[in-house]
Amino acid sequence: MKLLVQFLTIVAALAAEAEVASDGKVELHKPVGEDGEGLYTASTKGCFDVINAATPIVLDSIDKIELPTDRPLVIVDYGTADAGTSLGLMSKITDAARSRNSDLEISLQYEDQKDNEWKSVFNHALGYKTVTDAYGVELSSPYKGGANGVFVSACGVSFHEQAYPTGTVDFGMSFTAMHWLSSAPQGLVGRDELQAANCAASDSNCGSAEREQGASDFNKIITARAKELKKGGRMVIVNFSKSAEGHYLGKTERGVSMWDSFKSAWDRLAAEGMISEAERLAISFPSYYRSMKEVEEGAKTVENIKVVSVEEKVVRCPYNEAWVNGESQKAGRSARQHAEWFVPTTRTWSESTFKNALDDSRDKDAIMKRFWSNYVDIVEADPAVHHMDYVHSYLVLEKE
Ligand SMILES: C[S@@+](CC[C@H](N)C(=O)[O-])C[C@H]1O[C@@H](n2cnc3c(N)ncnc32)[C@H](O)[C@@H]1O
Ligand SMILES: *[C@@H]1O[C@H](CO)[C@@H](O)[C@H](O)[C@H]1NC(C)=O
């Protein structure tokens, strides 16, 4: 996520090399040269697009909540990463609230895990570093040294717990941060499906451990927010989901499912004798993409919480778009180079789960290298059909 707001030009991003660090995270290295300055990197675009898609819903809620008269308005961004992607929205929220009461003091609260990259949170939120969004627009923080009544604080308590005092949050939001389960049930080990979303709807045993863990985490997360919110306060949660049509991350109405490609690339390792049959079937992603119905019904079981609305939106994969609209080719990428550029965006978050399926006696890095090269082969054959489209539910809650 660090790289999200790094200022990379599109040309730089095209030439950037993805490297996997020892912790399995992929990092883009900023190459020299200022060609194309002001343009965006595809790696940041998806997250900015999701926040843009949520912006009208967020601003509508800011319009509807009662503004406090005897204390500051408290806004929380849960799972903020480096505070870069939500910075523009924070300014819009501040402006919207101030248009209703120009004297209002505002407390911007940034929440994430204790080991988050907090230094960047402060650099961005306090305005020491400018953030340039996916469209080349410079975003400035609404914080102006406290002189204008905007204050910035951070919290390192997990959102699985109550992170703020009871009844103190006016508005909370969370974007693409709550999708990992709090534990790894490993319910798909021994099966061909890699994750619960891949299960057929008719097979209720498949992924049931993940479904149950997802339900229990959801209840815990919403219960904690129900405590933190003040009466009449609102929360917007954007989380990966599975649509009624059966669409989810990397699998939409178009092209090839990313999960089918993962599967083919992994099965090829078995066919080549690099992994055993047990390892072939040992992948189990610790996530569960809830349907809108599950989201709504789950929220209804939490006391003092009302579901204002829940909708689904698809944000298109920027890497795929760059191939389909010819940008990638214009940047000089061959089909193979395009594949090598796209695949790391699927690798950053999935590598550890694949690695985990391998026996400890293996040279895991060598096998993973082969796996990713298999996936690159698959994408190279027809880049236009490979994507990691995002499917999210956009949930609005109100504390009663
Ligand atoms: C994919 S990033 C999204 C960042 C940002 N919200 C955006 O949309 O660009 C997910 C973030 O969620 C945070 N996160 C994951 N689990 C968390 C937890 N239990 N408590 C707080 N933050 C968490 C991660 O540390 C990471 O910064
Ligand atoms: C988001 O999805 C995860 C499952 O991957 C689930 O555990 C979590 O409770 C969901 N959170 C919300 C608020 O929808």
pLDDT at 371 over 60: yes
| Closest ligand to residue 223's CA | 2
pLDDT at 113 over 60: yes
Q: Which residue owns the Cα nearest ligand 2 atom 2?
A: 179
- Band (135; pLDDT cuts 50, 70, 90): confident
pLDDT at 33 over 80: no
* Distance from the alpha carbon of residue 197 to the mean position of ligand 1, in angstroms: 21
Cα–Cα distance for residue pair 335/346, rounded to 1 Å:
17
Q: Is the pTM of this model over 0.75?
A: yes
Within 6 A (CB) of ligand 1 lie 1, 4, 47, 51, 79-81, 85, 112-113, 116, 158-160, 175-177, 180
Mean pLDDT lowest for which of 35-44, 267-276, 372-381? Answer: 35-44
Question: For residue 41, what pLDDT is reported?
Answer: 58
- Decide: helix, strand or coil at residue 132: strand
pLDDT at 289 over 70: yes
Cα–Cα distance for residue pair 151/144, rounded to 1 Å:
9
- Decide: helix, strand or coil at residue 383: helix
**pLDDT, mean over the chain:** 90
Cα–Cα distance for residue pair 390/320, rounded to 1 Å:
12
Within 6 A (CB) of ligand 2 lie 178-179, 181, 214, 217-218, 221, 237, 239, 287-288, 290, 295
Among 217, 241, 310, the mutation site with the greatest number of ligand 2 atoms within 8 A of its Cβ is 217
How many CA atoms, within 13 angstroms, populate the side-chain half-sphere of residue 137? 11
Give pLDDT tens digits for 265-282: 999 999 999 999 999 999
* Distance from the alpha carbon of residue 135 to the mean position of ligand 1, in angstroms: 22
- Band (23; pLDDT cuts 50, 70, 90): very low
- Which two structure tokens, joined as six digits, stand for 213? 């863990």
Mean pLDDT of 302-331: 96
Cα–Cα distance for residue pair 377/394, rounded to 1 Å:
35
Greater pLDDT, 375 or 23: 375
Q: Which residue owns the Cα nearest ligand 1 atom 19?
A: 158
Mean pLDDT lowest for which of 5-9, 72-76, 94-98, 338-342? Answer: 5-9
Q: Which of 325, 365, 322, 371 is nearest to 346 (CA)?
A: 371
Question: For residue 17, what pLDDT is reported?
Answer: 30
Question: For residue 6, what pLDDT is reported?
Answer: 37
| DSSP assignment of 245-271 | TS-BTTBSSSSB-HHHHHHHHHHHHHH
Give pLDDT tens digits for 209-236: 999 999 999 999 999 999 999 999 999 9
φ/ψ of residue 139, rounded to 5: -105, 130
Question: For residue 287, what pLDDT is reported?
Answer: 97
Q: Which residue owns the Cα nearest ligand 2 atom 8?
A: 218
Question: For residue 146, what pLDDT is reported?
Answer: 75
Q: Which of 359, 374, 160 is nearest to 262 (CA)?
A: 374
| Closest ligand to residue 220's CA | 2
- Which two structure tokens, joined as six digits, stand for 50? 């999701």
pLDDT at 181 over 50: yes
- Band (177; pLDDT cuts 50, 70, 90): very high
* Distance from the alpha carbon of residue 154 to the mean position of ligand 1, in angstroms: 14
Cα–Cα distance for residue pair 58/397, rounded to 1 Å:
11
Among 159, 176, 179, 236, the mutation site with the greatest number of ligand 2 atoms within 8 A of its Cβ is 179
Amino acid type, 382 = D
pLDDT at 97 over 60: yes
What count of residues does the chain have?
A: 400
Among 218, 219, 302, 393, the mutation site with the greatest number of ligand 2 atoms within 8 A of its Cβ is 218
Mean pLDDT lowest for which of 48-57, 61-70, 127-136, 159-168? Answer: 127-136
* Distance from the alpha carbon of residue 324 to the mean position of ligand 2, in angstroms: 32
Element (H, E) at 29: strand 26-29
| Closest ligand to residue 156's CA | 1
Cα–Cα distance for residue pair 9/21, rounded to 1 Å:
22
Mean pLDDT of 234-257: 98
Cα–Cα distance for residue pair 371/374, rounded to 1 Å:
5
pLDDT at 36 over 90: no
Give percent of the chain above pLDDT 70. Answer: 90
* Distance from the alpha carbon of residue 224 to the mean position of ligand 1, in angstroms: 16
Q: How far is CA 58 from CA 113, 216, 356, 383, in A?
A: 23, 26, 38, 35
* Distance from the alpha carbon of residue 155 to the mean position of ligand 1, in angstroms: 13
Helices (H), the chain: 10-15, 42-64, 87-100, 118-125, 208-228, 258-271, 277-280, 292-300, 318-324, 327-330, 335-356, 364-381
